[in-house]
Structure 1
């Protein structure tokens, strides 16, 4: 599972790891995944938890549920590494437009940026960055570094030798810091502006934004907490400098916006079929990761696609069926969730493997008449 590790030693810690109407109001019945929310609080140690489900087959269905105080469906929160799917979408759009090729080496677009300590941008392609097969050291793993730009983040990484063998999967936030710089070189505009104009505005994701250097969350929002390693208490980290996260994890969003984004992406509204197929091709990583998105096979045999994100004060997970018609996003207001390795698979199983009228639990698509 991808990880988005420590960003700021004392303060900012990152570890990874639709469309149309506003969020649906709470349903009169409890959805299958919603039963896990109290467990995220009681067993996972989260102050609050919430989820939003959208399912457009065989008939529109949706539910918002929350547990704990002061968490609302419209809240803005930090989405961490879900940022990577947005960045990958723009890179694939640029490839679709012929403005770059996934086979391009980094050196061609960013001359002499990736050099030193065994790192060589002449041998690292854009596809390798997207799939985390570049071997570049993860700049967030250096606890002494506080880079405030993509270029600075890359410099931190290049002070270290590669931590993975090029061509083999090794999750690294440096890959997406470089991709943010690639977008700027190709378009002449920063990655946040390109994502806004290509994704956020067309899909009307009104709760989604990039904060730049802004340390506060836009309203409405709740609180965010991290656990103090000294005494185990929860510390409020709602206000933080997000610049270290950059193109690897600085996105702010809402439950509804993330569901709508992944529904649009997997439903073919953002990428042509060839580019979407490339995004979901996991051969280079032996099934672990595609290009900015990854699959997870559930106990009933269905595979869901999406991403997760940890950033100080927040853990988020979006998962969707391959066609994007059934999407779930859940979040908690802390990065200190206990036992996500067992609670999260159970939550996803409950949502995607539990049959509802007209839906096959195994196929994840409507039963045929």
Structure 2
């Protein structure tokens, strides 16, 4: 799914405070906004976990959602895959200037699409022009990676070099990881990221339709219970299952320099190829106060999640709802602004 780009300023209200001997501290604005994801956003329930050097802060709204719940994180998976590819590049096992053809010969051909003209960098930055297979499957049809690519290749490409978000790019990167490393993208991510960071609630379920315990229920936009879901609807573009705490820890470690050397992290944050819209598995949002945060969002049937962090990884916010989307698209940006912009009290 495309990253959220619109920003709304957080409403500010003024109140007269009566004198008091020991006034209670004001609740953080982001916690006050969270219930709006239910009342205005149409979600059955919502939760957030904010992490910074002084410790974590959890809040929730609506029934049946818990701090330790496992949930599907959709396109947040792309950040994990990008880290693995950049680690392999740093080890000299591939180059971002390699063509897709070099690693997956003959695969990307059809309707004007040509892997000989596409680099791994163009896949990472969504500038390959490859069509999005999910536009055909609508995120509900389980497909193997090769099937997903073949579906995409029935359509002509967009202009190469222009930012066009396509899940096909990261399905192909999953295949490249397998070809280079000799292991699945799931195994490589477990070995390189999940285990070293102790992300005990994070996994790549493959074709397993159930969620690990504990978990709540997940609902489609029409209210249908979609807790059981075949993750092959997304594959390397959106398969991961995780928790609030694990996502905070992952993005903090990544932006804090624990997963990539400095030059590779700078490469990941470089948005020039995508004309400011996207780096590699991460995208920036500049908030109304001028602060820029980095992260990703994810949407998959029954789940929407958003993680954002300061560029040094010292402050992270992850929030989620247990349905496909937020009815009021301004609420997500408002939550980020409430968390990361200074407030006058």
Please indicate, yes or no, whether the TM-score normalized by the shorter chain is above 0.5. yes
Q: After superposition, what is the alpha-carbon deviation per residue over 1:159-181, rounded to whole angstroms, capped at 9, x for unaligned?
A: 1111x211110000000000000
- Partner residue, 2:271: 282
- Between the aligned partners of 1:147 and 1:260, the Cα distance in structure 2 is 30
Offset at 1:32?
A: 2.3
The structural deviation recorded for 1:336 is 3.6
Q: Which runs of 5+ in 1 are unaligned?
A: 5-27, 229-233, 358-369
Q: Deviations over 1:172-192 (max 9, x none)?
A: 000000000000000000000
The separation in 1 between residues aligned to 2:344 and 2:303, in whole angstroms, is: 31
Q: Does 1:161 align with 2:156?
A: yes
In structure 1, the partner of 2:34 is 37
Q: Distance in 2 between matches of 1:356 and 1:272?
A: 37
Q: Is the 8 A contact 1:147 1:153 kept in 2?
A: no
TM-score (normalizing by structure 2)? 0.91
* 1:197 maps to 2:191: yes
Check conservation: 2:142, 2:230, Cα contact below 8 A: no
Shift of 1:286: 1.3
Determine helix, strand or coil for the equivalent of 2:327: coil
1:69 counterpart (63, 67, 71): 63
Instruction: State the Cα distance separating 1:355 from its structure 2 match.
Output: 4.3
What is the CA–CA distance in structure 2 between the aligned matches of 1:62 and 1:74, rounded to whole Å?
Answer: 13
Q: Could you tell me how far 1:2 is from its partner in structure 2?
A: 1.6
Task: Give CA-to-partner distance per residue, 1:236-275, whole Å, 9 cap, x none.
Answer: 1000111121000010000000000000000000000011
In structure 1, distance between residues paired with 2:196 and 2:316: 20
Find the aligned partners of 2:26 and 2:70 in 1 and give their Cα distance: 26
CA distance in 2, matches of 1:156, 1:170: 17
Q: How do 1:246-265 and structure 2 match up within 5 A?
A: 246-265=235-254
Decide whether the 8 Å contact of 1:147 with 1:244 is kept in 2: yes
Distance in 2 between residues matched to 1:291 and 1:55, nearest whole Å:
24
Once residues 29 and 68 of structure 1 are traced to their aligned partners in structure 2, the CA distance between those partners, rounded to angstroms, is: 22
Match of 2:315 in 1: 326
Residue 198 of structure 1 aligns to a residue whose secondary structure is: helix
- C-alpha distance in 2 between matches for 1:240 and 1:146: 10
Indicate whether 1:299 and 2:295 are aligned: no
Give the aligned length. Answer: 324
TM-superposition CA deviations, 1:94-119 (whole Å, max 9, x none): 00000000000000011001011100
1:3 Cα deviation from its structure 2 partner: 5.6
Give the structure 2 partner of residue 24 of structure 1: none
CA distance in 1, matches of 2:268, 2:57: 29
Cα distance change on mapping 1:243 and 1:127 into 2, 3 Å: same
The equivalent residue for 1:115 is 109
CA offset at residue 62 of structure 1?
Answer: 2.1
SS in 2 for 1:85: helix
CA 1:238 to 1:334, structure 2 compared with 1: closer, same or farther past 3 Å? same
Render the CA deviation track for 1:307-332: whole Å, top value 9, x for unaligned.
00000001000000000000000000
Q: Indicate whether 1:54 and 2:51 are aligned.
A: yes
Partner Cα distance (1:171, 1:94) in 2: 23
Q: Which residue of 2 aligns with 1:352?
A: 340
Q: Structure 1 residue 140: deviation in Å?
A: 0.3
2:202 aligned partner: 208
Given candidates 109, 118, 129, the residue that maps to 2:123 is: 129
- Counterpart in 2 of 1:93? 87
Distance 2:215 2:151 in 1: 32
Q: How many angstroms apart in 2 are the aligned matches of 1:147 and 1:46?
A: 25
Q: CA deviation at 1:206?
A: 0.4
